Amino acid sequence: MMKLNSSSKLNFPKHLAIIMDGNGRWAKKKHSTRSFGHRFGVEKFKSVAKYCGKIGIGHLSVFAFSTENWKRPPEEVKFIMGLFEEYLSKALSEFQGENFRVNFLGGKTLLSEKIRNLIARAERETKSCTGMVLNIAANYGSKDEITRAVKEIAKKVEAGQISIDQIDETLISQNLYTDGQPDVDLVIRTGEEKRISNFLLWQSAYAEYIFLDTLWPDFKLEFIDDAIREFSSRKRRFGGIAIDS
C-alpha cells in the first residue's frame, strides 16, 4: 500500500492525538514483564512520531503518563520514570534531526529534578524548530489541566487584570498547556479500551475518534494511513447540519 504524504488528496488532521495503551497486556501475552512492554512501547512511539512528521502532521500529542498512573505499583512507576529520563536524554539529538518542536503537557512538581531539567532543555533547544509540534503528556490529566487554567484566570480577576465578562472559550484555551495550537481533530486509541481517559478533553471537544483493539507495541505505521483515510471520509458537522442533509 502506498504511504501517505502531505500531497495526498486527503483531508489531513491538523492535530492528531494518540492514547498509547496496551504495553503491559502486550508484555503479559509475551510472558514477559510489564517493564519490557513499556520499553518496547517507547521504541514504537519514536517510529510513529517520525512517520507523522514525514507525512505532514502539524501537531502530534501522545499520552505518556497520566496523573492517575501514580496509582500503579511503585516498582512499575519507578521503571517508567527511569525510562522517561533515559528517553529524554536521547530525545534531543534524535528529534532535532527531525526538526520537531517538543512541548510537554502536564504538571512538573511530582517529577524528579533531573527529569524537570531535561524537559526544560528539550523545550528550550527545540523551540526554534519549524517542523511538527510534538506534545508529550506526562503527569497529565485533563481535569487537572482545566482546574489549573481556572485558577490562573481567577488570579487575574482577583488582581483586577481582567473582568469576569472577559472570560470566554478563547481565554480558557490560552491558559491550557496547548495555548496557540489548533484543537485536536483526530484521536486514535489503541489497546482494546474505548474511553477517553481524561486526555485533552477541552481540546478534543469535536475530535473524531478511532478505537483500535491492537495493543500499542503491535501498532503499525499503516494504521496511521488508515486512520487519516477514515478521518478524511467523515463529515464533520461541529453541531451543525451537513450540506447534503
| Per-residue model confidence as pLDDT tens digits over 199-238 | 999 999 999 999 999 999 999 999 999 999 999 999 887 7
DSSP category for residue 67 = G
Collapsed DSSP state (helix, strand, coil) of residue 209: strand
Q: Is the pLDDT of residue 22 over 60?
A: yes
pLDDT tens column, 39-93: 999 999 999 999 999 999 999 999 999 999 999 999 999 989 988 888 887 766 7
The most confident of 72-76, 119-123, 204-208, 240-244, by mean pLDDT: 204-208
192-205: b (≥16 Cβ within 10 Å) or e: eeeeeebbbebbbe
* Predicted pLDDT at 92: 65
Average pLDDT over residues 9-18: 94
Q: What is the DSSP string of 111-171?
A: S-HHHHHHHHHHHHHTTT--S-EEEEEEEE-HHHHHHHHHHHHHHHHHTTSS-GGG--HHH
Please tell me the pTM assigned to this model. Answer: 0.91
Q: Which tops the pLDDT comparison, 243 or 169? A: 169
Q: For 12-16, 34-38, 190-194, which range has the lowest pLDDT when averaged over its residues?
A: 34-38
Give catalytic residue positions. 21, 69
* Predicted pLDDT at 94: 74
Reported residue count of the chain is 245
Beta bridge pairs of residue 27: none
8 falls in which pLDDT band (50, 70, 90)? low
Range 15-141+182-233 classified under CATH 3.40.1180.10: yes
**In the chain, % of residues over pLDDT 90:** 78
